[in-house]
Amino acid sequence: MKTEEWQHICKVVNDAQRAAMHCSIATVDSNLQPTISPIGTLFLRENPSGFFFDTYTESLQQNLPKNSKACIQAINSSRLFWLKALFKGEFSDYPGVRLYVEIGDLRLANAEELAQISRRIQSLKWTKGSQLIWSDFSHVRDFQVHAFKWVKYPKMMPFA
């Protein structure tokens, strides 16, 4: 994967997370049934990799020991992004991306990762919900990106 491609992927994922406040991670269970888990704590690194805080995802804890491969999907659900595209008849950027990844074992988060999550939730830290669900982050899973696929609507993709 080229550096420019990865930088573009990072931008699309960041835009999607800003709009939707989460990405989706698809895994399969021991019966090969797909499961999708929403993850609001996903971070990308400068190389084709990243990490996410894994606190509540029972399905990942059950599925990953059997099959560490997954698909992370990030979709920009911003109403303004979609309205502009619909009025113009073309997207200004890809509306999303799928990352094909291999996810590592659960490990303790380091100081930099804890600082990143703290910055992300800072504006909502005062809310009761934030205190209930975002106050006990301690473990992360790393992932390596092996491939990607843009989410696109061919008739509205002038740059593709």
46-105 per-position pLDDT tens digit:
999 999 998 878 899 999 999 999 999 999 999 999 999 999 999 999 999 999 999 999
- Decide: helix, strand or coil at residue 2: coil
Q: Quick check: is 97 in a domain?
A: yes
Range of the domain at 9: 3-152
CATH number where 16 lies: 2.30.110.10
Q: Quick check: is 159 in a domain?
A: no
Residue 133: phi, psi to the nearest 5? -105, -15
Q: Quick check: is 160 in a domain?
A: no
Q: How confident is the model at residue 145 (pLDDT cuts 50, 70, 90)?
A: very high
Q: Quick check: is 43 in a domain?
A: yes
Tell me the average pLDDT across 111-129.
78
- Decide: helix, strand or coil at residue 70: strand
How would DSSP label each residue in 83-121? HHHHHHTS-SS-SEEEEEEEEEEEEE--HHHHHHHHHHH
The answer to whether residue 12 scores a pLDDT higher than 80 is yes
The answer to whether residue 15 scores a pLDDT higher than 80 is yes
Q: Quick check: is 157 in a domain?
A: no
Q: What is the pLDDT of residue 138?
A: 86
- Determine the Cα–Cα distance for residues 88 and 151; give it in Å rounded to an integer: 18
Q: Quick check: is 8 in a domain?
A: yes
Q: Quick check: is 158 in a domain?
A: no
- Decide: helix, strand or coil at residue 148: strand
- Determine the Cα–Cα distance for residues 132 and 38; give it in Å rounded to an integer: 17
Number of domains in the chain: 1
Q: Quick check: is 75 in a domain?
A: yes
Mean model confidence pLDDT for the chain:
90
